[in-house]
Amino acid sequence: MAKIPIQVTVNGQTHQAEVEPRTLLVHFLREDLGLTGTKIGCDTSQCGACVVMMNGSTVKSCTCLAVQADGAEVTTIEGVADQGNLHPIQEAFWDNHGLQCGYCTAGMIMTSVELLQRNPNPTAEQVRAGLEGNLCRCTGYQNIVKSVLAAAERMGG
Amino acid sequence: MFAPEFEYHRANTVAEAIDLLSSNPGAKVMAGGHSLIPLLKLRLARPGVVVDIGGVAEMKGITIADGNIRIGALTTHWEIESSSQVAEANSLLAEAAGGIGDTQVRNRGTIGGNLSHADPASDWGTVLTALNATLEIRGPGGATRTASPTDFIVGPLTTTLGETEILTAVNVPVLAANQRAEYAKMAHPASGYAVVGAAVVVNVDGHTCTGASLAVGGAVPAPVRLTSVENALTGKELTFENIEAATAQADNDLGGEILGDFFASAEYRRAMAAVETKHALFHATEVAHH
Amino acid sequence: MTTRIFGSGIRRREDPRLITGQATYTDDVNLPGMVYAAILRSPHAHARIRSINTDAAKSAPGVLAVYTGADTEGVLNAIPCAWVVPDSDVKAVPYPAIATDTVRYTGDAVAAVVAESRYQAEDALELINVDYEILPANVHAESAMNEGTPQLHEDAPNNQAFHWVAAGGDTDSAFASAEVVVTDTIIQQRLIPNAMEPRSAVASYLSSMGELTIWNTTQNPHIARFVTSLVTGVPEHKIRVIAPEVGGGFGAKIPVYPWEMITAFCSMKLGRPVKWTETRSENYQSSIHGRDHVQTVEIAGTREGKITGIRSVVHAGMGAYLSTAGPGIPTILHGLMYSGPYDIPNIKADVYGVFTNTTPVDAYRGAGRPEATFLVERMVDLLANELNLDPVEIRRRNLIPKFEDGFDISLGLTYDSGDYQGALDKVLEHVNYEDLRRQQAQSRGQVTGNGHHDHGHDHGHDHGHDHGHGHDDQPSATKELIGIGVTTYCEICGIGPSQVAGAVGFGGGLWESAIIRFYATGKVNVFVGTSPHGQGEETTFAQIVSDELGVPVDDVEVIHGDTDNTPMGWGTYGSRTTVISGAAVALSSRKIKDKAIGLAAHLLEAAEEDIEYEDGKFFVRGSPDRSQSIQDIALMANVAWNMPAGMEPGLEASSFYDTPNFTFPFGAHVAVVTVDVDNGHIVLQRYAAVDDCGNQINPMIVEGQVHGGVVQGAGQALWEGAVYDEDGQLLTGSMLDYALPKAHLLPDIETLSTVTPSPHNPLGVKGIGETGTIASTITIYNAVIDALKPFGITRLEMPLTPEKVWQAIQQSGKP
């Protein structure tokens, strides 16, 4: 099957590649670009481990074809910290024990980045609602919610 | 999961998309991909060709004029949810959009893709039925037609959309000052889809119902209007007792086939159609026990 | 030091790599020349394989090889069961890596494809043609032993996998003479563990050296190496198992599965590194499940509410084969816990393990203890109901009084320490129990009277967005009942000593070892044989060392997970890591200190008896200026320029710790739920947990364990359950149908604790990893049943879906 040329800017770096149309964005990121911080936890768009930012809004990269990202700007967990300085949300997850095994964390942080962009000063309930598409089996979500609220405060929401 | 191979074409205009569909029988249209990609990954859909209409600019955006809200089929749930104009013109649209799936689904999923997929558990079919929406459909040679949601969605994953047709826009009336609207949904705890969803639009004059447009989805293969309940409610004072009595008739309108599974049987969904309608009406009309 | 590091909620040292996407999980491992394996799984629950045609798959693009059971038979040995419980007639039936003639559950391996890419491997699976003769399936634990039920294994007549009995006292007499007896049938539904990271393995075989390296998402790399050597025939010292970052386990990553053995086989055959990673739907079919008990239970008591006996007959589904620890879960870890925190003189557990055409069942968070705690706490509530006693009151009448060093229960165990009343008092005071009961009475009056109350919780969104506490005073149109569940529990974890492990048939030891190594720069590595995967021991173990030896916690790095650079250990499960492995770390720290004192005395020209230690400094008594820091000592020991006679160079210690007894954490939990009478929808409004895990090394981590544990137990009560149809098809085959707890459906968990140190381990700690799960399922369940009391409802099956509640209300015949 003919491969399709795409150009994707990931974490500020532009990549040109040829991909099979069926290649999922998450496989392109993990396998072709070696950006393994983005995880795969399910196959039905439920778990959110694969959430990345694409053109300014979050997507589940397991429910997006690489060809759909042609021309897009993508940010993955590897691109969240600014030149080695942790993003306030990353700091907050660390400070508040917002992770245990870490597998859901990349997706949680990406979702939280957007959540606070859209609502800089959310209530706990709004945070919980905003995390509906991200599953965590370790934390019971409590410290994740706490982390997002702490980040909001730190970011001056 | 890993999709089977397919050929990929990108359309830039509706006409181009329809040409691609015409020349590739069996091709599947992909908007945001949130309906199609899961099917591809499960290998439940095996189209030879996928036509990506995600970049068709003419199918995007929301315009509100002359009492009508026109929503391009490629408009995402999030765009509807977050539009202050939509919220002002028709609060039910914004509210329903905000309850679909999760943030990422709303960011990528489109109203047109959702309707065309016709999942019986989706929210749009039910909400747009109650809102008396009109769907715009384009076919080969620039042919256009319109359809109501109930004419369009005819069963689970089944619409009247032709193989070479594309749903291009949804038109929804602006809510009048005397209209109250609400959507109540019992969501499946895993998928978030509606086990039963009830959308209500009620015309009020003081405490009296002067007309109602009620729809139920999730429990049925395709959204249905609750005409018995509408009739029972119209002309009545909107009291707890009248609403309870009217919604008890929902059963008459559900048709012969009620969906059921191990999570929620047909018997239960049948009963919940009335309960959720009742709850939606209570909220819409702010009725509590007096 | 002003604040002691032990007991301090410092942030975790493992987090920086995890929050930046730099951690390496198994599927992130990529090796030069690596190829991909995919496994063809049986679509039938029970079938005979007539023939397999792999020709088309073999010639598909990118395919290197296709293997079937004919290829692995005689090369890979059967997957062993490692917990053959004695005196129970365990049928360790053959468990081949790839089925040869019969498949016994949907998910059984039939063939494996290796290809250059994952997509090609998946494509080729579809080209394998298997001719099956479909056989009738047996999917219910309850009826598996009935006559006429389809048989799974020739060697296991009536599908009986084992029969195990535990008894203390004289239950027959106790029941014969009982004033009150209450019975119930409890179904512990089957659960899917759902670690967020699916299972994965990368195998690389170096034929010239005969060395096999496997990256494996396991909770116990050393056990994995042991079993891998048994299955592959590669000698144990030539196998290296690396558990890199592991994305949760919850028991499902204890077993050694056929899948990583197949991956190893493929690498050995092809001479190339091979990666296999399951999809989530594959995980649901073929990684172990948990629970699956049908329990017929009786409780006997006096009219005053004193429990005199408890007995059960349990049918525990084992699935199609005996998984690694399978038989130990419903026996040792379940039947021995029927006394709970109560003094119950007569107990009998009669447990049948049965084979069904389903995914094998093994340890899932709590592993046996949730099933036991549920059983005990349900029966106690039923007895209270029968006697018209408040659930709190009946517990008070039966709790073992406070004890600090040993209490013998009728089943022969000796509990280590406990203050059950104290925990109960604390949680009741915290939630203001009387006030909750008042609110409940009000809600009952309003629903059974004419009041209609609107909580507004499904306002345009799905149910559960609202988790406000209790009721508001707004007029309302929905009818909601409040329910309160109160549980006191005691559980068993940190299992040992190894002599006991042997006596109960566990196929290994249960000790742990730890090496502490100081470098010349004063920096420290701690090497442990356990393998934490989210529990934070890289931090808590560093805290132990820092506390014992006064080195900054940031100077301590904990190494685990790689069998090549860690000492032998038995792994992370059963809430044992901090208790057993932590003790080994403490003992090694103390050995270091002893040596440091000797070296300090030498360097300070003082007698050893005159050396005092405080906060990382060794000084001569009365002369604090004459001192050596631990870093000074580390340097001097490493360069060894001036060692006392007979003292070896280096500052390193190794310890092996075998605990003298289990630890028994305990606590008291309260759940408050509302039930919507119209639609049966339950909202968990509040959850308060008082847990006692003895001394806490890091309270922030302790709380995190409780949060997660409680929510996992809530999942069993309210949402989760694996469902098979009569043909053995898994209906909950993906996350679209299997409902995991989600953020918006939960309240904050209110965590509190009491501290009753365990008397028998060096740190006075008890396990905390599973307490939440052990207690919360029944606490929430009891709350729901309590809410439904006006309808006379005393039992429901889990998960408590809206329909089940609604149906029960409809059938109650009450308004």
Beta-carbon count within 10 A of C423 CB: 27
Cβ-Cβ contacts under 8 Å for C136 (sequence gap 6 or more): C46, C150
Domain boundary among A51, A79, A107: A79
Instruction: Tell me chain B's radius of gyration from C-alpha atoms.
Output: 19
Pseudo-torsion of CA A37, A42, A47, A49, nearest 10°?
A: 0
Token pair belonging to C508: 């290994």
Residue of C nearest to A135 (CA): C742
A120 plus A142 within the same structural domain: yes
**Contact between chains at C196 and A105 (C-beta distance less than 8 A):** no
pLDDT at B224 over 80: yes
CA distance A96 to C142: 45
pLDDT digit string, tens, across residues B97-116: 999 999 999 999 999 999 99
Token pair belonging to C418: 């406990």
**Contact between chains at C11 and A140 (C-beta distance less than 8 A):** no
Residue C453: predicted pLDDT: 39
pLDDT at C1 over 60: no
pLDDT digit string, tens, across residues C656-715: 999 999 999 999 999 999 999 999 999 999 999 999 999 999 999 999 999 999 999 999
The domain defined by B179-285 folds into: Enolase-like; domain 1 (3.30.390)
CA distance C562 to C564: 5
pLDDT digit string, tens, across residues C452-508: 333 333 434 444 333 333 333 344 556 899 999 999 999 999 988 999 999 999 999
pLDDT digit string, tens, across residues C249-292: 999 999 999 999 999 999 999 999 999 999 999 999 999 999 99
**Contact between chains at C802 and B186 (C-beta distance less than 8 A):** yes
Mean pLDDT of all residues belonging to chain C: 95
Going by pLDDT thresholds of 50, 70 and 90, the confidence category of residue A2 is: confident
Contacts of C742 in chain B (CB under 8 A): 189
Residues 218-277 (B) with a CB less than 8 A from some CB of A: none
Cβ-Cβ contacts under 8 Å for C61 (sequence gap 6 or more): C120, C123
Residue C465: predicted pLDDT: 35
Instruction: Tell me chain A's radius of gyration from C-alpha atoms.
Output: 16
A19 plus A55 within the same structural domain: yes
pLDDT at C533 over 60: yes
Domain B57-173 carries which CATH code?
A: 3.30.465.10
Q: What is the mean pLDDT of residues C226-231?
A: 98
What structural domains and CATH numbers belong to chain C?
Answer: 18-135+196-248+253-286 (3.90.1170.50), 511-657 (3.30.365.10)
CA of C535 to nearest chain A CA: how many angstroms apart? Answer: 6
Contacts of C465 in chain A (CB under 8 A): 125, 129
- Among A100, A108, A125, A145, most C C-beta atoms within 10 A, so best to mutate, is A100
Sheet containing strand C611-614, edge to edge, reads C611-614, C617-620, C623-629
CA of B260 to nearest chain C CA: how many angstroms apart? Answer: 11
User: Could you tell me the end-to-end alpha-carbon distance of chain A, in angstroms, rounded to an integer?
Assistant: 49
CATH of the domain at A115: 1.10.150.120
Residue B288: predicted pLDDT: 56
**Contact between chains at A59 and B52 (C-beta distance less than 8 A):** no
A144 plus A114 within the same structural domain: yes
CA distance C548 to C593: 8
Cβ-Cβ contacts under 8 Å for A6 (sequence gap 6 or more): A16, A17, A18, A19, A66, A67, A69, A70, A71
Strand partners, C171: none
Contacts of B276 in chain C (CB under 8 A): 458, 679
pLDDT digit string, tens, across residues C168-212: 999 999 999 999 999 999 999 999 999 999 999 999 999 999 999
- Among B102, B114, B117, most A C-beta atoms within 10 A, so best to mutate, is B102
Contacts of C701 in chain A (CB under 8 A): 97
Residue whose C-alpha is closest to residue A73's, from A6, A140, A146: A6
**Contact between chains at C452 and B289 (C-beta distance less than 8 A):** yes
3-state secondary structure (DSSP) of residue C349: strand
Q: What angle do CA C721, C722, C727 make, to 5 degrees?
A: 140
Enumerate the domain spans of chain B.
7-52, 57-173, 179-285
Interface residues from chain C to B (CB-CB < 8 Å):
118-119, 122-123, 126, 279, 281, 450-454, 456, 458-464, 474-478, 678-679, 681, 718-719, 723, 731, 735-740, 742, 745, 801-803, 806-807
Domain B7-52 carries which CATH code?
A: 3.30.43.10
CA distance C499 to C509: 8
Domain boundary among A79, A97, A124: A79
Is A31 in contact with C720 (CB distance < 8 Å)?
no
User: Which amino acid is located at C313 in the chain?
Assistant: V
Residue C466: predicted pLDDT: 36
Is any Cβ of chain C less than 8 angstroms from the Cβ of A56? no
Q: How far is CA C586 from CA A13, C609, C655, C794, in A?
A: 48, 22, 9, 49
Residue C456: predicted pLDDT: 36
CA distance C715 to C780: 10
pLDDT at C544 over 50: yes
A92 plus A119 within the same structural domain: yes
CA distance C37 to C112: 7
Contacts of A51 in chain B (CB under 8 A): 104
Whether the ω angle into residue C699 lies within 30 degrees of 0, i.e. cis, is: no
Is any Cβ of chain A less than 8 angstroms from the Cβ of C18? yes
Backbone phi, then psi, for C295, in 5-degree steps? -120, 125
Percent of chain C with pLDDT over 90: 94
Token pair belonging to C78: 């059967």
Higher pLDDT: C813 or C588? It is C588
pTM: 0.96
Contacts of C365 in chain A (CB under 8 A): none
Q: What angle do CA C57, C61, C66 make, to 5 degrees?
A: 35
CA distance C542 to C519: 15
Number of domains in chain A: 2
Is C45 in contact with C139 (CB distance < 8 Å)?
yes
pLDDT digit string, tens, across residues C575-625: 999 999 999 999 999 999 999 999 999 999 999 999 999 999 999 999 999
Checking B234-238 for CB contacts under 8 A at 24+ apart, the result is B234/B209, B234/B210, B235/B208, B235/B209, B235/B210, B236/B208, B236/B209, B237/B207, B237/B208, B237/B209, B238/B202, B238/B204, B238/B207, B238/B208, B238/B209, B238/B281, B238/B285, B238/B287
User: Which amino acid is located at A1 in the chain?
Assistant: M
Domain of A19? 4-79
Which alpha helices (DSSP H) does C550-650 contain, by range?
A: 582-603, 630-639
pLDDT digit string, tens, across residues C368-401: 999 999 999 999 999 999 999 999 999 999 999 9
**Contact between chains at B78 and A57 (C-beta distance less than 8 A):** yes
pLDDT digit string, tens, across residues C111-165: 999 999 999 999 999 999 999 999 999 999 999 999 999 999 999 999 999 999 9
Is C103 in contact with C49 (CB distance < 8 Å)?
yes
CA distance C474 to C682: 20
Strand partners, A60: A51
CA of A15 to nearest chain B CA: how many angstroms apart? Answer: 20
pLDDT digit string, tens, across residues A8-65: 999 999 999 999 999 999 999 999 999 999 999 999 999 999 999 999 999 999 999 9
Strand partners, C490: C666
**Contact between chains at A103 and C467 (C-beta distance less than 8 A):** no
A40 plus A75 within the same structural domain: yes
Q: What is the mean pLDDT of residues A104-110?
A: 98
**Contact between chains at A1 and B41 (C-beta distance less than 8 A):** no
Q: What angle do CA C464, C466, C470 make, to 5 degrees?
A: 115
pLDDT digit string, tens, across residues C24-47: 999 999 999 999 999 999 999 999
Domain boundary among A79, A106, A135: A79
pLDDT digit string, tens, across residues C323-355: 999 999 999 999 999 999 999 999 999 999 999
Token pair belonging to C196: 């967020």
pLDDT digit string, tens, across residues B173-216: 999 999 999 999 999 999 999 999 999 999 999 999 999 999 99
Contacts of A80 in chain C (CB under 8 A): 20-21
Is B89 in contact with C452 (CB distance < 8 Å)?
no
**Contact between chains at B107 and A1 (C-beta distance less than 8 A):** no
CA of A47 to nearest chain C CA: how many angstroms apart? Answer: 8
pLDDT at C447 over 80: no
A12 plus A73 within the same structural domain: yes
User: Which amino acid is located at C87 in the chain?
Assistant: D
Q: How far is CA C693 from CA C546, C665, C765, in A?
A: 21, 5, 6
A21 plus A70 within the same structural domain: yes
Is C199 in contact with C257 (CB distance < 8 Å)?
yes
> CB-side exposure of B129: number of CA atoms within 13 Å?
29
E strand intervals along C615-665: 617-620, 623-629, 651-657
3-state secondary structure (DSSP) of residue C209: coil
Instruction: Tell me chain C's radius of gyration from C-alpha atoms.
Output: 28
3-state secondary structure (DSSP) of residue C618: strand
A65 plus A94 within the same structural domain: no
